[in-house]
Amino acid sequence: MPLSKIDEAGLASSAQFTGFKNRIINGAMMIDQRNAGASISDITGVGAYPVDRFNFRVPAAIGGTFSVQRVADAPAGFVYSAKLTVTAAATVGSTNRSGIAQGIEGLNLADLAYGTASASSVTLSFWVKSSIAGTYCCALRNDTITGIATISYVANYTVSQANTWEYKTITIPGYTAGTISTDNSLGLGVCWDIGSGTSYDTTPNVWSASDKMGTAGAVSIIETTGATFQITGVQLEKGNTATSFDYRPYGTELALCQRYYYRVAAQIAGDYTIATSALAISTTQAFVMTNFPVQMRTRPTALEQNGTASDYVVVRAGSATFNACSSVPTFSQAGLMSAMSIFTVASGLTNGSAGYVYGNTTAAYLGWSAEL
């Protein structure tokens, strides 16, 4: 067929031929580096990530108890969803905010041209399943949940039937009156209100130069014991139309997540994967270098590990002596592409000698965050 016969207009408008249209990362909830599907019970304070990039967060002051988890319950075309279960109801005050959010890096939003007359509309689509039917809210803001947004757009959506997967789409006009970050900081946060106070209520479907999350009368799911709320298939795309979900290869989606959080975990006891090499700086301590698989969004400033020193082992090169750590691995420094940690043992190292480290149990891991 001559090339002149290709319908370019058709290619451009057909969802099947457009990739990387989804500004949401891990919208199908496939990646869960932190928990591998395990439940988390503490979502207060800085919140929790039941799957990569989706933060579930409530303030401690509202009380209640919750669990969040990636579960194998999803509408056709998806495998997983992220689920909130209210095990004991909270009491939301007027100035409290609770939600589920993903922060989108400004670098991935620059083409929306916010703050100009040609600011682009975006369309949010997602699947939701809730144990309580009613009107709910989601918001596009230049913050996530706990920060103070200076622009907000809140929209309502309706859960028509309890405990049933429903597909929702919301088109949000471009914001012409002000700019958003277009660098590696947070550009916009997509937020689902799960229980926020009246101080954050606003008129739906209009941009507001203020810090808003909800609308009056919306369901506050966290105030009902036993309630559940699940989302998956989340997509935010440029334009006025929700198109088919942008399925990306698993490895690609994982790499996208690793820009914001990277965890290297022992797969089997004695696995060598948690770090590559070590350099002893004394008889008891060794520097350990870990290379990140992708460039992080920003330089991590902390190291996470499982809290049990003996789960980590240092081996001196040329020695058959396996030294279990006497204290947990600690942060030393990090850049965009690698991090240095310090492993400590009671004795047995030689200053200046090389070695390696590994997880002594499958519980061992090292993790670094550059989340928004």
List residues near other proteins by CB under 8 A.
46, 281, 285, 301-308, 328-333, 342
Alpha carbon distance 372, 367 (integer Å): 16
Stated as kind and residue range, the H or E segment containing 155 is strand 152-159
Q: How far is the CB of 51 from other proteins (least distance, A)?
A: 20
Spatial separation of the C-alpha atoms in residues 221 and 189, rounded to whole Å: 20
Determine if residue 205 is left, alpha or beta; phi over 0 gives left, psi from -120 to 50 gives alpha, anything else beta: left
Residues 6+ apart with CB under 8 A from 18: 12, 243, 246
Q: Closest CB to other proteins among 135 and 327?
A: 327
Question: For other proteins, which is the closer residue by CB, 60 or 209?
Answer: 60
In angstroms, give the least distance from the CB of 2 to other proteins: 58
- CA–CA gap between residue 168 and residue 159 (Å, rounded): 9
If the CB atoms of residues 285 and 323 are measured against other proteins, the closer one turns out to be 285
Contact 30, 80 (CB under 8 A): yes
| Residue-level length of the chain | 372
Nearer to other proteins, 203 or 308 (CB): 308
Least distance (Å) from other proteins to the CB of residue 26?
22
CB of 333 to other proteins, least distance (A): 7
Nearer to other proteins, 113 or 309 (CB): 309
Name the one residue in this structure whose structure tokens are 């703050």: 115
Which residue's CB is nearer to other proteins, number 207 or number 343?
343
In angstroms, the CA 40 to CA 71 distance is 12
CB of 75 to other proteins, least distance (A): 35
Least separation, in Å, of the C-beta of 368 and other proteins?
Answer: 11
What's the Cα-to-Cα distance from 118 to each of 114, 173, 188, rounded to whole Å?
8, 11, 18
Closest distance to other proteins from the beta carbon of 275 (Å): 15
Q: Phi and psi of 62, rounded to 5°?
A: -85, -5
Number of Cβ within 10 Å of residue 291's Cβ equals: 11
How far is CA 198 from its chain centroid? 27
Residue 194 contacts residue 98 (beta carbons within 8 Å): yes
Check if the beta carbon of residue 155 is closer than 8 Å to that of residue 169: no
- Which amino acid is it at 43? I
Minimum distance, C-beta of residue 45 to other proteins, in the bound complex (Å): 8
Q: To which H or E segment does residue 148 belong?
A: none
* Residue 205 or 333 having the CB closest to other proteins: 333
Nearer to other proteins, 269 or 346 (CB): 346
Checking DSSP bridges between strand 277-280 and strand 354-359, what pairing results, if any? antiparallel
